[in-house]
Amino acid sequence: QVQLTESGPGLVHPSETLSLTCTVSGFSLTGYSVYWVRQPSGKGLEWMGRMRYNGDTSYNSALKSRLSISRDTSKNQVFLKMNSLQTDDTGTYYCTRAGVDWGQGVMVTVSS
């Protein structure tokens, strides 16, 4: 059974760095891509970036300068790091197996 679970701090201060972890089970990170998607409260979905099965990454053009996605295949984990957070980065952050299976999401609030 495929499962994805996002984890990370619920509160981040402005200008700080957000670090999130997506822990997966039921599939191999060397066989499937994992995407990060976020959703500001009450708004639509925004594709943030991708860790491809072969280790390649791709990023949303608007976030590229602040965003980094990496992985540890031995731990079945994909990581997201985004720096210089501002209040409009507040929202729910999801990881998904190639858009097919989704985690429940983690709510992140950027506030002082």
Footprint on this chain of another protein (rule: CB under 8 A): 35, 37, 44-47, 49-50, 58-61, 94, 96, 98-100, 102-105
Record the tokens describing residue 84, joined without a space.
């210089």
| Minimum distance from residue 7 beta carbon to another protein (Å) | 15
Nearer to another protein, 31 or 44 (CB): 44
Terminal Cα distance for the chain, rounded? 39
| Minimum distance from residue 112 beta carbon to another protein (Å) | 28
Q: What share of the chain is helix, strand, coil (3-state, %, to 5)?
A: 5, 50, 45
Q: Which of 75, 33, 77, 37 is nearest to 55 (CA)?
A: 33
CA pair distance 52, 69, nearest whole angstrom: 10
Nearer to another protein, 60 or 76 (CB): 60
Nearer to another protein, 8 or 16 (CB): 8
| Minimum distance from residue 30 beta carbon to another protein (Å) | 19
